[in-house]
Amino acid sequence: MTKEIVATDRAPAAVGPYSQGVKAGGLLFTAMQIPLDPASGQVVGDDVVTQTACVLDNIKAILAAGNSSLDRVVKTIVYLSDMDDFGAMNAIYERYFAAAPPARGAVEVARLPKDVLVAIEAIAVVND
C-alpha cells in the first residue's frame, strides 16, 4: 500500500513533522485541525461557534485537495476544551454534515494548541 501526502494553501500549513492530510487505502486522513486562518496562521474567533466553522472549512479544503469532500467523511473526532461547548459546536457541525453524518467521537481535553476551544480530525473516502 502506498501513501500520498495531501497539501493545500487553502488550509493552515503544517507547522511540524506532520502532513495536512494523507491518502492511503482509498481513505484520506486529515491532521487535527484547529481554527487557524490559512493566510495569516492566526487563531480565528474567540467563541466555539466561529472556531468550529473555521475548523470545518479547513477540513473541507484539505478534503477537496485530496479528491474527497465532506459528504464522503466516515469518521470524525472532536476535541473540546470544555464539554459545556458541545451544544454550540454541534449546531455548527450539523450544518456541515446535515445528511448522512459520519460516525463521531467527542471528548473534552485539558488543553488544545494555541488554547483554542475546538479541534477536529476527519477520515473520508477518496473519490474514485
- The CATH number covering residue 95 comes to 3.30.1330.40
**Tens of pLDDT, residues 117-127:** 999 999 999 98
Look at the chain and report how many structural domains it folds into: 1
**Tens of pLDDT, residues 53-108:** 999 999 999 999 999 999 999 999 999 999 999 999 999 999 999 999 999 999 99
Domain carrying residue 100: 3-125
Distance CA 114, CA 109 (A): 13
What global pTM score does this model have?
0.97
Distance CA 2, CA 97 (A): 29
